[in-house]
Structures are given as C-alpha cells and as structure tokens.
Amino acid sequence: MVAIPLNNSQKSHNEARLISRRITQYFKPHIKARYQILVVNNKFDQTFNFFFELQQPPQLPHSFPLHRVTHYDLAYLEEIIKQLQSEYGFTFTFRNFTGLFWPNAQQAISVHHQLTVKKNLIHSQSLTKHKSE
Amino acid sequence: MSAINYSTEPHGIFFLIDNKSFYASVESVERGLNPLRSILVVMSEQDNTNGGLVLATSPRAKDLFGIHNVDRWRDLPHDSRLMIVPPRMNLYIKKNLAINKIFTQFTTEQDVYPYSIDESILDMTHSWNLFGKTPQAAAHQIQIAVKKQLGLYTTVGIGENPLQAKLALDLFAKNSSQLSACLTYNTFAAKVWPITRLTNIWSIGQRTAAHLQRLGINSIGELAHTNPAALQREFGIIGTQLFALAWGIDRSQLEDQLRPRKTSLENSQVLPRDYYRRSEIEVVIKEICQQVAARMRHRHLCTSCIRLSIGYSLAATTINSSGFAHEQKIELTDNSFQLEQQLLNIFSSSWNGAPVRRISVGFSQLVVKQADQLNLFLPPEQQLKQIAFNQLIDQIRGKFGKGAIMYANSLTQGGTFKQRINLVGGHNGGNTFE
C-alpha cells in the first residue's frame, strides 16, 4: 500500500490537533490562574516552538513545552494559529517575530513587541532630548 | 618558586569547554530568551523529588535569588519573575551533539573528547594557531561559533594539559568577563597555590579536604610542598595524584582508550516515598533486575556476580546502619527469572524490616555469552521456555519501545516501571514533545 503524502493544509491541521491535545493535558481551570500560549520563532533551529504558560498564584509560573513545528514557514504557522485561536480563548504571545507579518492576514504578528520597541524608541529619544537639554 | 622540572612534562594546548548553565540555557533559547538574562530554573517534578528538584538555574536566577542546582522546591523564592520549566533530557543530548559537531570545525573529530553532558575537552595543540594569534583568540572564535549557531554561551578553560584546562575553567573562567581563562606551567603556582578552599579544586571532595586538613594541609601550595611519599602512605595511589594535581601535572594521553579491567552494569532508583511492605519493595527489585538484565542481554553478556544495595529511609538510618549492599556469586546467566530469584533471596536474608528509600541492582564479572548453559537439575523444557520468553520480551521492547510490554505486577502498588518509561537519566526525556 502506498502512503499518500499529506498536503500542507492537512499537516498543519494535524499539528494543531496535536498541540490542542497537549493543551488539554495541561489546562486545569482554576480561579485567578493565567494561561497563555507562547509561540517562539527559534531562528537557530529554524522552528516554531509552542509552550503552555501557567501562572497560578501563589505557585511560581510554569512553562510547559507543547510542540515544535519544524516546517519553518509563516503561512503554515498562520494556519495552525488560526485553528488554535478558533478553539481557545487564551492569550497568544509571539516572541521573536518583530517586523514579521502574517502572509494571509497581512497583519503584524507581534503587535506587543512592536509597541515595546516603539516605547523604547520614544523613551530613548526623550532621554537623548533630556541629555541634550 | 617551582622545584619541579616541567620540561619533560607534556606541553600541549587543551581547551575544556563548558556550556554555561546548560539545561537552563537550552530552555531559554527554546523560549526565545537570552540565556544570560532569563530568570528560570529547570526543575524535575518527579514523584521521587519531594515536590521538585532543581537541575539547572539560569545565571541571572542564581544572581538574583542565590538558587543552586539540587536545591529543592521549598528553597525557591516566591517571586513571579522566576519561571519553572520541566527538563527535556533528550533535547539536551541532541544539543550536546550539535555543540560537539561545532567543535569539530576547530579540531579533528578524534581530538574532541566529550567529558560530560555539558563539557568537552578539545586537544587544540595542532590547530589553535589556525584560528587566532593566541589560544585565547581561538577560544573566542569557538565561543562565537556556538553562540551564533545555537544561541548558547560557552566558558573555556585553557591549559597546557587537560588538568590545567579543567582548573582554569572551574576556578577562573566562570567568573571572567571573557568567559575564558588560561593556566600554564609558569602561571600555575601563582594562581592556584594560594587557594585555601580545597573543595573548589577538581577531584577534591569534602572527605579528602577534611583528611588533608587533618594532616595540616590547608592550601594547594601546602599540598604541593608535602612529601609525596607521605601523601602516598596516607592516601595510597590517590596521594600521588593529589601531589601531581598541586603541581598542575597531568600525563594522561587522551587518545589512549581506557579499557576498564572490570565492567559491570547497574541501575538504581530513589523511590517516590518510603516503602514499608515487602511485596512493594520486591516489585521494584524485580523491575530494576529486568531492566539491568535486558541491558546485559542487549550487549550479549552474562553475569556471574550480582549485587543488591538497599538504602533505608532517612528516618530509619542510624549510625550503624543506613542500609545494606551484598554481592553474591552465581552461575553464569542472563536469565531474568534466575537473577530475580537470587536478588530476592539476598533481600530476604538481609532486610531488617526498615523502610526503604533507595534500591540498586548491579551485575558484574560480565563475560560474552557463548551459549545457554542448561541446568541438569531442572526440566530442560522449562529452561528453554524461559530463554525464549526473555528473548521475546527484548524483541518486543526493541521494536515497539520499553513501555510496549510489562509485567502485571508493575501495575500493583509500589511499581514504578510505568512512571519511569520516558525518563532519561532519571529525569523527563521530553520525547513526547519532539
């Protein structure tokens, strides 16, 4: 029997399902707990790494690895994220995606980071101004 | 100051390269964080760690909170900046291989000697000058290559022999801003002899340090100026090694493969709680026995000497007894059933009923298996069935994984096999997340 190769859409669907299964494993609803999904652009290994981050005071924050997407393509990642976001209302944090845009949605991936960069810029500008004064 | 002629000693250029807070750094890079700035600890939260055992701490977490490796969960500060992450031993092994591969860009593959999961010795004698004007410059090139390709920081100890490189790493490089330091025969005395905290020196542990202090030796300089014959009388062969250590002398030839005179296989477990019941303890002894026996059969070996070591719970430990360790000669075998039986006999004859916390099983006097020796006093069918059974179990595990088949008694109270399937070196392998 010859195995039919999966297309990217099917693959991304499978990876999203896998991540989803693992989220279910870690997600235990608690009062005052914060849950978020961290997605990291790992430029060294050329992978996208997924983590489940849990903060439930007074316990210390935990970060559990969920999955590593080895198909290093933003369109592929976008598919996975879309499926996960349709399923979960958690905050998704994107790290090391500064300056990158979702290929289909044409939106900046990590708005938070861009804001931080802008804030830092403003801060450094005001510092320079302050110094020159 | 020096009274030893170093001209006849081996003069090479050796780098001992250590990955700074390796597990924590790998986890930081995986999370897109800078390993020197992240605040995290890698903590094993297995049942037998009493809530959690710190395996690695990022440098910043060390600075901020003074956390050390092997600290317990209860020692951690309640600070929300501190992130707890589970270990992934398989990932660390993979990264270690990747790092060693980078090292082969700077010296031949034969001259890279992995020393531990996060340390390697590089014999750079013939290649360092291809990468810089000084050994330090070459070391810096290696540091840059590892940082660029893997995002990890490395610390380099440089010496004219592996011992000097190791001491340079442990004593000076880790605190240097360049993350590198160098020791030579010429600088050794000035830099190392003033050290009075003897346990800071590689190979000197608490007991040796206490022994040296009892002899009135309180610094490496004093050790260097002690009569080597007296040291040998006091410590045996280790005494001469200590004397050589104090003078920075290491005559080991790394390319010579060491062949241990006696080989043995051993596995041990710290139990998740104190075990009081005989049946529970016996289940774990059987599980460990099967594990070691499978390793032995995998290497086509047989044993004629078995060893069982039992450690009692801390509460039951007295000055006279903290457990027992017994060896027994047996007929040459690789049969799990026979081995189990013999180990249980040792246990029955030596256990005084105290709660048990640690179990270790070892097989020694190993020889290559030539054939199966049947016992004249047992029915041959029964023996052949046991041999075929062991082979079948090994084949199933080889093909489908360790957890594909297990004895039903592992599901009884006390069994640890199921929980330990995915562990690597006693910690989470992280296989399921790759």
Q: Do A42 and B29 touch (CB under 8 A)?
A: yes
What CA–CA distance (Å, rounded) separates B320 from B372?
A: 42
Q: What CATH number should be reported for the domain holding residue B199?
A: 1.10.150.20
Q: Is residue B302 in a domain?
A: yes
pLDDT in tens, B11-47: 999 999 999 899 999 999 999 999 999 999 999 887 6
pLDDT in tens, A28-64: 888 889 999 999 999 999 999 999 999 988 889 999 9
Q: Is residue B183 in a domain?
A: no
Is pLDDT above 60 for B305?
A: yes
Instruction: Using an 8 Å CB-CB cutoff, list chain B residues near A112.
Output: none
Asked whether A37 and A29 are in contact (CB, 8 A), the reply is: no
Q: What is the mean pLDDT of residues B110-135?
A: 94
Q: Is residue A60 in a domain?
A: yes
Nearest residue of chain A to residue B78 (CA atoms): A60
Q: Is residue A38 in a domain?
A: yes
Confidence (pLDDT) at A1: 53
Asked whether B208 and B200 are in contact (CB, 8 A), the reply is: no
> How far does the CA of residue B149 sit from the closest CA of chain A (Å)?
6
Which residues of B make CB contacts under 8 Å with A? Answer: 29-33, 40, 76, 78-80, 82-86, 88, 149-151, 430, 433-434
Q: Do A95 and B31 touch (CB under 8 A)?
A: yes
What CA–CA distance (Å, rounded) separates B350 from B307?
A: 12
Q: What CATH number should be reported for the domain holding residue B43?
A: 3.40.1170.60
Kindly indicate the confidence band of residue A3, based on its pLDDT and cuts at 50, 70 and 90. low
Asked whether B62 and B119 are in contact (CB, 8 A), the reply is: no
**Phi, psi (degrees; rounded to nearest 5) at B328:** -145, 135
Q: Do A61 and B32 touch (CB under 8 A)?
A: no
Q: Do A63 and B78 touch (CB under 8 A)?
A: no
Q: Is residue A4 in a domain?
A: no
Same domain membership, residue B354 and residue B214: no
What CA–CA distance (Å, rounded) separates B323 from A53?
A: 42
Cα separation of the two ends of chain B = 57
Nearest residue of chain A to residue B73 (CA atoms): A60
Instruction: Using an 8 Å CB-CB cutoff, list chain B residues near A64.
Output: 85-86
Q: What CATH number should be reported for the domain holding residue B398?
A: 3.30.1490.100
> How far does the CA of residue A111 sit from the closest CA of chain B (Å)?
17
Q: Is residue A5 in a domain?
A: no
Is pLDDT above 60 for A124?
A: no
DSSP A101: B
Q: Do A64 and B84 touch (CB under 8 A)?
A: no
Helices (H) and strands (E) in chain B, counts: 14, 15
Domain end point (choices B88, B119, B136): B88
Instruction: Using an 8 Å CB-CB cutoff, list chain B residues near A93.
Output: none
pLDDT in tens, B61-117: 999 998 887 777 778 888 889 999 999 988 999 999 999 999 999 999 999 999 999
Q: What is the mean pLDDT of residues B265-280?
A: 88
Instruction: Using an 8 Å CB-CB cutoff, list chain B residues near A57.
Output: 80
Same domain membership, residue B291 and residue B202: no
Best residue in B29, B433, B434 for a mutation probing chain A (most A CBs within 10 Å): B433
Q: Is residue A2 in a domain?
A: no
Query: Would you call A22 an interface residue with chain B, using a CB distance cutoff of 8 Å?
Result: yes
What CA–CA distance (Å, rounded) separates B420 from B427?
A: 9
Query: Would you call A58 an interface residue with chain B, using a CB distance cutoff of 8 Å?
Result: yes
Is pLDDT above 50 for A26?
A: yes
Same domain membership, residue B374 and residue B348: yes
Same domain membership, residue B208 and residue B348: no
Same domain membership, residue B396 and residue B326: yes
Domain that holds residue B392: 264-433
Specify the long-range contacts of residues B401-410, CB closer than 8 Å, at least 24 apart: B407/B286, B407/B287, B407/B290, B409/B283, B409/B286, B410/B283, B410/B287
Query: Would you call A116 an interface residue with chain B, using a CB distance cutoff of 8 Å?
Result: no
Same domain membership, residue B398 and residue B270: yes
Question: Torsion over CA of A67, A71, A75 and A78, rounded to 10 degrees?
Answer: 0
Confidence (pLDDT) at B398: 81
Confidence (pLDDT) at A118: 46
Kindly indicate the confidence band of residue B403, based on its pLDDT and cuts at 50, 70 and 90. confident
Same domain membership, residue B349 and residue B315: yes
Instruction: Using an 8 Å CB-CB cutoff, list chain A residues near B29.
Output: 42, 44
Residue whose pair of structure tokens reads 């707990």 in the numeric block: A33
Nearest residue of chain A to residue B83 (CA atoms): A61
Instruction: Using an 8 Å CB-CB cutoff, list chain A residues near B88.
Output: 65
Instruction: Using an 8 Å CB-CB cutoff, list chain B residues near A42.
Output: 29-30, 32
Kindly indicate the confidence band of residue A130, based on its pLDDT and cuts at 50, 70 and 90. very low
Same domain membership, residue B284 and residue B425: yes
What CA–CA distance (Å, rounded) separates A10 from B302?
A: 50
Q: Is residue A75 in a domain?
A: yes
Mean confidence (pLDDT) of chain B: 88
> How far does the CA of residue A76 sit from the closest CA of chain B (Å)?
18
Token representation of residue B273: 């709680």
Q: Do B80 and A65 touch (CB under 8 A)?
A: no
> Which of B32, B88, B150 faces A96 most closely, judged by CB atoms?
B32
Is pLDDT above 50 for B350?
A: yes
Q: Is residue B219 in a domain?
A: yes
Number of residue pairs across A and B with CB atoms under 8 Å? Answer: 55
Q: Find all residues with CB under 8 Å of B126, minimum gap 6, and list them.
A: B107, B111
Query: Would you call A93 an interface residue with chain B, using a CB distance cutoff of 8 Å?
Result: no
Instruction: Using an 8 Å CB-CB cutoff, list chain B residues near A44.
Output: 29, 149-151
Same domain membership, residue B326 and residue B280: yes
When divided into structural domains, chain A yields a total of 1
Domain end point (choices B37, B70, B88): B88
Phi-psi region at A19: left, alpha or beta (left = phi > 0; alpha = psi -120 to 50): alpha
Rounded to the nearest angstrom, the gap between the alpha carbon of residue B242 and the centroid of all alpha carbons in its chain is 22
Domain end point (choices B70, B88, B106): B88
Q: Is residue B160 in a domain?
A: no
Q: What is the CA radius of gyration of chain A?
A: 18
Strands (E), chain A: 34-42, 47-55, 62-69, 91-95
Q: Is residue B370 in a domain?
A: yes
Q: What is the mean pLDDT of residues A5-18?
A: 85
Best residue in B79, B84, B92, B95 for a mutation probing chain A (most A CBs within 10 Å): B84
Q: Is residue B154 in a domain?
A: no
Q: Do B82 and A67 touch (CB under 8 A)?
A: no
Domain that holds residue A53: 11-132
When divided into structural domains, chain B yields a total of 3
Kindly indicate the confidence band of residue B2, based on its pLDDT and cuts at 50, 70 and 90. low
Q: Is residue A3 in a domain?
A: no
Confidence (pLDDT) at B427: 62
Asked whether B133 and B22 are in contact (CB, 8 A), the reply is: no
- What amino acid positions of B are annotated as catalytic residues? 119
Q: Is residue B235 in a domain?
A: yes
Q: Do B31 and A51 touch (CB under 8 A)?
A: yes
Same domain membership, residue B397 and residue B325: yes
